[in-house]
Structure 1
């Protein structure tokens, strides 16, 4: 059996929430959240159907288009059960149902899940104006929350902006739970939130897991973690059903690459290197974010983690660059003036060895971001390769 798929603009989150309510109780079509400015006919899924969206499996509640920050964008199929089980597990860890403040784009899974959690809780979220994140708007909206429990979901760069002012810290203290995900939270920022007593949950997950499914290193109820050949795999009711090809059929090739069956269960291969010790997950970096420098494998995520622990560099990004002598080398990109290459090289060399030391530091006016709030690593790597950055 199949059901229809309807495109709904994510620029109107409360209208999207109404559409999601119908998708979840199956009284309406499945939902394809559209990025702001996009039109239904512009979506790749519609290109093969005369600008009409294809039908999708009956269990589907939403199809989420990934950002492509770690590769080619995918159309992730999320069932009603996956979304609701994720919301229920999150609620059980965060202390119960509550009112949410939506500060993330609703066409990405983290923002969409704020709407799903609100539907499950029977509450109406407050919504920030569309466009770039405005700390002042967040601070104002935080004062308008009326729920007994108050929650929000942020990416690290948003959290860092709010931590820069007393008013921002006061606003953060109004929340009973603050989900922070999308990328690793730098240790200095994590330590500061702990000193301030903020209720921060560092989340790990993906569109393929209906959002965050590991909080502060521990799997949510119903989620299991496993390490296979150094790579993290996840299983549970929150898993996606797979990927749609742009013609609307199941993309068996891509789905088979990311989802495997073992012991009568489906597992999602995350592509992340990790360790699990005493049931606590530590992400080491992307399995494919490795360069060969002078014949030595260097994981750029580990380099970036060391760099971000240095004073003032918690927002730095490390990308690869070609080098005539070494093949490839790490390059640090930061919007902080005066970052010293020798200090960075000493810190990285001490932690990871000489081959991991960055070759240079590039200072930019601002780090380009994707709509999800993540650094646009592909744009930065291209700019370094084309030498269009100063």
Structure 2
């Protein structure tokens, strides 16, 4: 198996060549970041010196947001199926601009899609400010159809920085990695940005449900309230972990950790993680539902809801808010939640912050948010 440090001397071009070779039957690729504090642990867990499982093209290290990271085994056929289904949904093959960490599945797929479409991928140079560097990189794309993939925070920074012209040049801007606040999506679309929301994970070669609609060939079902996914985009399991593989993959289905509803028209609605609820005073509260209400209020750019220990309530609902301009009054936010979800869901602690701490491919680091709210 070939380890590639995506922030090393070879960087993204080296990874792109390794992916091209793996696609054609060459050695499996393990993209990692030299700056990742978990690098030594990931190397121990994923053992790049040992041969990859048969049929594996890429091993993707998960972010490990709720436990130990795993190595997801992605076959070349699954990567091809995902890329083909994406291009079919978006209107045809095109060139992609990489703005995400290349060691995560969303970044890997940006490279794979460009390569399979016959275009050389481009990448945003590392460093700040992100919005300006993105706009500069967007000018280097010359293909008739142009695509990129962002996390909500990146989209928010592009809009705030006034780089709408760069965003409007793309035939589609995929937004995933975390739930995007509805006001952010509405603002982007109103400004002429062709935003497409995505839902998926490393185990499905990245996004496999676009704007709530599964990609061609992707199957969705709800079992006990939990979302299960199937189809040609599925991983073959976890690196050196047959027990975890058997627990998550069975009969051509992958069992996620997300709660959701499959509507009669076939659209999927995600309600947050099944393994993350707040039990406050004996009542279970879904943080995702509270975040959706808060993010919809005037003056709120982003919201993260976590639990904090409480002698009285067991756990209390706490919210970190990134304001959009003048911060709203906390009581107005609490009243909005009370009206929409009832008294138990109302955040007993509301704090305004400049930014939400992130990890992985743009996901909010809830542990860091919890620590931030505890220490303030």
- Choose the corresponding residue for 1:356, options 321, 328, 345: 345
CA distance in 2, matches of 1:63, 1:375: 23
The residue number in structure 1 matching 2:81 is 85
CA distance in 2, matches of 1:327, 1:189: 34
Q: Does 1:146 pair with 2:142? A: yes
Q: Does 1:69 pair with 2:65? A: yes
CA distance in 2, matches of 1:349, 1:151: 40
The residue number in structure 2 matching 1:123 is 119
Unmatched segments (≥5 aa) in structure 1:
none
The residue number in structure 2 matching 1:170 is 165
CA distance in 2, matches of 1:39, 1:273: 31
In the superposition, relative to structure 1, how do residues 163 and 41 fare at CA in structure 2: closer, same or farther (>3 Å)?
A: closer
CA distance in 1, matches of 2:38, 2:329: 48
The residue number in structure 2 matching 1:19 is 18
SS in 2 for 1:314: strand
Q: Does 1:286 pair with 2:273? A: yes
CA distance in 1, matches of 2:259, 2:39: 38
- Choose the corresponding residue for 2:231, options 227, 236, 261: 236
Matches within 5 A, 1:154-303: 154-166=150-162, 168-244=163-239, 249=240, 251-261=241-251, 266-277=252-263, 278-303=265-290
Count of residues in correspondence between the two structures: 370
TM-score (norm 2): 0.94
Q: Does 1:136 pair with 2:132? A: yes
CA distance in 1, matches of 2:52, 2:149: 29
The residue number in structure 1 matching 2:309 is 322
Q: 1:40: Cα distance to partner?
A: 12
TM-score (norm 1): 0.90
CA distance in 2, matches of 1:163, 1:38: 29
In the superposition, relative to structure 1, how do residues 354 and 48 fare at CA in structure 2: closer, same or farther (>3 Å)?
A: closer
- 8 Å Cα contact 2:95/2:143 also seen in 1: yes
- Choose the corresponding residue for 1:374, options 360, 363, 371: 363
- 8 Å Cα contact 1:271/1:287 also seen in 2: yes
SS in 2 for 1:275: strand
The residue number in structure 1 matching 2:321 is 334
Comparing 124-133 and 313-322, the one that deviates more:
124-133
CA distance in 1, matches of 2:357, 2:127: 14
CA distance in 2, matches of 1:333, 1:41: 30
The residue number in structure 1 matching 2:33 is 35
Unmatched segments (≥5 aa) in structure 2:
none
The residue number in structure 1 matching 2:108 is 112
- 8 Å Cα contact 1:276/1:282 also seen in 2: yes
In the superposition, relative to structure 1, how do residues 81 and 282 fare at CA in structure 2: closer, same or farther (>3 Å)?
A: same
- 8 Å Cα contact 1:333/1:363 also seen in 2: yes
CA distance in 2, matches of 1:47, 1:281: 34
Q: 1:119: Cα distance to partner?
A: 1.1
- 8 Å Cα contact 2:307/2:316 also seen in 1: yes
Runs of 4+ in 1 over 6 A off after TM superposition: none
Q: Aligned-pair RMSD on alpha carbons?
A: 1.9
